Amino acid sequence: MNIQSKAYAKLNLTLDITGVKDGFHLLNSVVCSVDLYDLISVSSRKDKAVTVTMRGLGSEAIPLEKNNAYIAATAFVEKFNTCGADITVYKNIPMGAGLGGSSADAAGVLNALKKLYKIDDEVGVKQIADAIGSDVGYMLYGGYALLSGRGEIITPIASDLRLDILLFVPQYGVSTAQCFKLYDQGEKPVGVYSQNAKNALCLGDKALLCKNLNNHLFAPACALCDGVEREYKNALSFAPLGVNMTGSGSAVYAVFESAEMCRYVASRYRGKAKIIQTKTVL
C-alpha cells in the first residue's frame, strides 16, 4: 500500500523572541502555510526497517542521521510498534531558507504513516513531532496559527484571509544555530508584533497585517548572508503591501494585492534570487 502526502512550507509573518529558558529561545510567532510543498511517498514494509530516498535540490547529500524524515519514521515505528516503510521525499521547498522544509518533511511522513497504519493517537504523534523540532507539531496541521513557548504551543487562528506572495530566495542559506548565536550577542530589537498580527488576521485586515510583519532575527541573518538584505531591498522596490524575512532566513517574501501583481513583479525582477510565486493555504 502506498500513501502520498503534501508537506507544505510555512512563513513566519512575525517572529518575536521573548526570552530564553533551559537553553532554548522562547518566542511568539504568527505563521501560515503556503502552497509550496515537498511530496512524500510512503509504502508499507513487512519488516520494521525504514528507508528514505531524497530527490531534488541537493537533498540527496543529507546524512541519514540528520534527516528529519528518517528520524520521524523510525520514531513512529518504535512508538506504535508498526511495520517499517519505504519513503521517498521529492524536494521542492528550498533548503536553508527559513521555509521549514525539513520540519515539513517530518510532519508529512508522520501524517502519511498515520494513514498507512491507521493510527489515531494524535497526542502520541504530536509528542514525536515536538521531540524532532519546535515547529514540526505545527506542520502536522498547518494553516494560520500563533506559536509560543519554543514553538510547540500552537494556537490556531481562524481566518480565511488569502495572501498572494512572492518569495525571494537567495543563492545561499542561513544557519539557524549561527543566526540565534549572533542574535544573542547583538543588540535586541525593540517591539513585539505577534498579537497585532493575530488580531489583523481575525479581522481579515490585510493592510493591518502587513504593517505588523516583523522578524527579530532579520539583523543577524543579514550579517550572515548579504543576500537577505539585498533581496529585502529588491522586494521593497516593487512597493508591496509588506515585506519580511521568514524564519532565520535566507528567504524574503513580499505580499502583493493580487496573484496578477505577483506575476508582474516576477516578470520585472532582474536580481540574483530564485523567485517563487505562492499563496496561503488554509
DSSP for the chain? Answer: -EEEEEEEEEEESEEEEEEEETTEEEEEEEEEEEEEEEEEEEEE-SSS-EEEEEESTTGGGS-GGG-HHHHHHHHHHHHHT---EEEEEE--SPTTSSS-HHHHHHHHHHHHHHHHHT---HHHHHHHHHHH-TTHHHHTT-SSEEEETTTTEEEE-------EEEEEE-SS---HHHHHHHHHHSPPPP---HHHHHHHHHHT-HHHHHHT-EETTHHHHHHH-HHHHHHHHHHHTT--SEEEE-TTSS-EEEEES-HHHHHHHHHH--SSSEEEEEEEE-
Active site (catalytic) residues: 10, 135
